[in-house]
Structure 1
Amino acid sequence: MSIPVVDFGSCSLDVDDISRVDLHELSTEFKNAFTQVGFVFLENTGITQEEVKSVMDASLRFFRQPDHLKQPFRRNTFPNCIVHGWLPLGSERVDIEKPEDIKEAFNMTSINPSIKWSSLEGFQESQTTFYYRCKELSLRILRVIAHSLDVDPEVFLSAHCHLDTDQNLTTLRSLYYPPVNSRLAKEGQLRCGQHSDYGSMTLLFQDSQGLQVRRRSGEFIMVPCIPGAVLVNIADMMQRWTSDRFVSAVHKVELPMADDSSTRQSLAFFLMPDDDAMISCVDGSNKYPPIRAGDYYAERLAHIYVDKDS
């Protein structure tokens, strides 16, 4: 099955209310996508391609600086939020059985005023503005997800009430995949190793193909690039929350072809429940025991960094 494309216009950031008929139709499409594939493309969300390009352009200017100019903003240099900041090339390995990923990233996880930002024109402003746009879109998507599961939206919304504070690890990640000579890569090395995401869900904006998603059959399929569309996928916490009703699909970013010297950029908004949120199965079952979200994150994040002091 390919990844479904759904029109989100009736619930976009440009509208105030959604009719019960539209909500029912969206919920049905969400249920089909998230139980069978785990991914869905949303069109007409209210977030424009121009907004995405603005953030990517500012991020690219940051990444193309010499490393010594990015070093002061490196991850783990901010005591109030160790996830926030720049990750150099090769500092992360999301598939712990494979070599380090060939990518560079900047995590915007904290809005704390004590956080230092690069003085690069437009960088902080574009990141912050886009974070809030993704936050609002995510909350709307959560409402539709709740309706598709026939549960009170507050079950999900109340567990995400500390977004943009140091009590929540929701992250806007700008990703840059530089040109790579595939012939010189280590055995098994990818631009981003195969993995599933950790939190509630992810919003992904990409400028080119490269991402592959694993079907339930085990086969990987190439994800198309649809300008203006947001790719949404269920993450591990939501799969646990829904007692495996919704699927958190494994995905990866392959190396380019041997003669392909192009770059790739993407923006990923990783929506996480609040650190202190207790996550229990929404169907009332005991398939998974309740778990504190922050404890779950700590366990998952402990294994991915190549340089523990980075």
Structure 2
Amino acid sequence: MPEPSPFAVPVVDIAAYRDPAASREDRLRVARRLDDAARTVAFLQIVGHGISAEAWSGLGGVIDDFFGLPLDVKQRYVAPKGVNRGYTAPKSERLSLSLGVEKAERMNDFFEAFNVGVDAHRYPALDLDRTAYAPNRWPDEVAGFEPRVTAWMREADAVAHLLLAVFADALSLPAGWFDGFTDHSLNVLRMNNYALPDGERIDLDGDLIGMGEHTDFGIVTLLWADDVRGLQVLAQDGSWHDVSPLPGALLINFGDLMARWTNERWRSTLHRVKPPIVDGTIRRRRSAAFFLDGNHDAVIASLPGVVAEGEAPLYPPITVAEHIDAKLRGSRGLEVNTAGTEREADRVAAARG
């Protein structure tokens, strides 16, 4: 078997898009670098994003504070079935099912999580789905939980929309092209803790998984992560590679909807989390993923110019709602998702190691 090719996560500085004095050429250089990274690695690190140190440390603190609570307290915040909010206990999800990948011998993913998202009340003039845009539940047991989380979401949302401007330039689209698809975007922040509760015993076998192989569902994901190893990305040659962020960098990956838009010029990033094990003990790892998923009612179809003349798009048009709902029925409903997942499932099946 050939050795895996060298793998590196490109670093893209987007400061020119924050600087009103930056020239058009300065910005286009950034867009070209991002396009190259998106075509080749589909995973990158963003610097020059402007997120404040206060928001950065505040998010880390709230993750520590909430997941440090006793399990019975955290379980008070489990959301009703079908609502993508609140607490998820360890071993209650299986992300690989969102791709239609099922391994009968595998236990569910052992991470725990807490989700918050955009509430329908933020857009009072719109008749939005009250399940998709559900109210958040803010844990009373954690001081400052809501302001710390909302501070991060506000700044992450600003960076995500800045990235949309970069994407438009990289894809030769008019300025503001994505605005009509994201002006009431179904954004979700998922805070993750990769550690089992105290007293939990587990067989540390080779198939133990922190978070199963999957692609993210939406447009783009901004990932806050600590420097504990575990995150792995699937390269184009079918090999898995460890990824850790530079200090202060946001990890960025593309979701299924962007892959559909670009007809896989930018592929959705296949990734997983393998738990670091030291002396037979799982080491704790933290992350928080901000998902820019697009408007619930938006229709996603191939962008102008991405499908060659005489060829058919790789994917039919789909609404954000239809796609996200099918994915969540897989990961959280534990149903094998068969809604257009064949291409990603084949990539997983062909992966090495």
TM-score normalised over the length of structure 1: 0.89
Match of 1:3 in 2: 9
* Deviation, structure 1 residue 153: 3.8
Match of 2:107 in 1: 99
Match of 1:262 in 2: 283
Match of 1:177 in 2: 194
The gaps in structure 1 that reach 5 residues or longer are none
Match of 2:344 in 1: none
Preserved CA contact (<8 Å) 2:86 2:136? no
CA distance in 2, matches of 1:37, 1:200: 16
Match of 1:216 in 2: 236
Match of 2:220 in 1: 201
Could you list the per-position Cα deviations for residues 102-159 of structure 1 after superposition, in whole angstroms to 9, with x for gaps in the alignment?
1110111134575431122111111111111111100000110111010124332210
Preserved CA contact (<8 Å) 2:232 2:242? yes
Residue among 290, 293, 300 paired with 2:317? 290
My pick for the range that moved more, 41-50 or 180-189, is 180-189
Letter in 2 for 1:297: I
Establish whether residue 272 from structure 1 lines up as the match of residue 280 from structure 2: no
Preserved CA contact (<8 Å) 2:45 2:245? no
* Deviation, structure 1 residue 262: 2.4
Alignment of 1:123-272 (within 5 A): 123-163=145-185, 168=186, 170-178=187-195, 184-185=203-204, 188-208=207-227, 209-259=229-279, 260-272=281-293
My pick for the range that moved more, 178-187 or 212-221, is 178-187
TM-score normalised over the length of structure 2: 0.78
Could you list the per-position Cα deviations for residues 24-83 of structure 1 after superposition, in whole angstroms to 9, with x for gaps in the alignment?
111110110000010111112111454222112112211111223223321227xxx810
Letter in 2 for 1:173: R
Change (3 A) 1:3 1:307: closer
Q: How many residue pairs end up in the alignment?
A: 298
Preserved CA contact (<8 Å) 1:84 1:110? no
CA distance in 2, matches of 1:204, 1:251: 12
CA distance in 2, matches of 1:133, 1:66: 30
- Radius of gyration: which is bigger? 2
Change (3 A) 1:219 1:307: closer
Preserved CA contact (<8 Å) 1:179 1:262? no
Change (3 A) 1:85 1:17: farther
Percent identity between matched residues is 29
My pick for the range that moved more, 115-124 or 175-184, is 175-184
CA distance in 2, matches of 1:58, 1:124: 9
* Deviation, structure 1 residue 5: 0.9
**DSSP 3-state at the match of 1:100:** coil
CA distance in 1, matches of 2:75, 2:216: 26
* Deviation, structure 1 residue 255: 1.9
Preserved CA contact (<8 Å) 1:11 1:17? no
The gaps in structure 2 that reach 5 residues or longer are 1-6, 122-134, 336-353
* Deviation, structure 1 residue 307: 7.2
CA distance in 2, matches of 1:182, 1:157: 48
Change (3 A) 1:58 1:25: same
Preserved CA contact (<8 Å) 2:277 2:283? no
Match of 1:300 in 2: 327
**DSSP 3-state at the match of 1:155:** coil
**DSSP 3-state at the match of 1:216:** coil
Preserved CA contact (<8 Å) 1:100 1:189? no
Alignment of 1:34-49 (within 5 A): 34-49=38-53
My pick for the range that moved more, 151-160 or 134-143, is 151-160
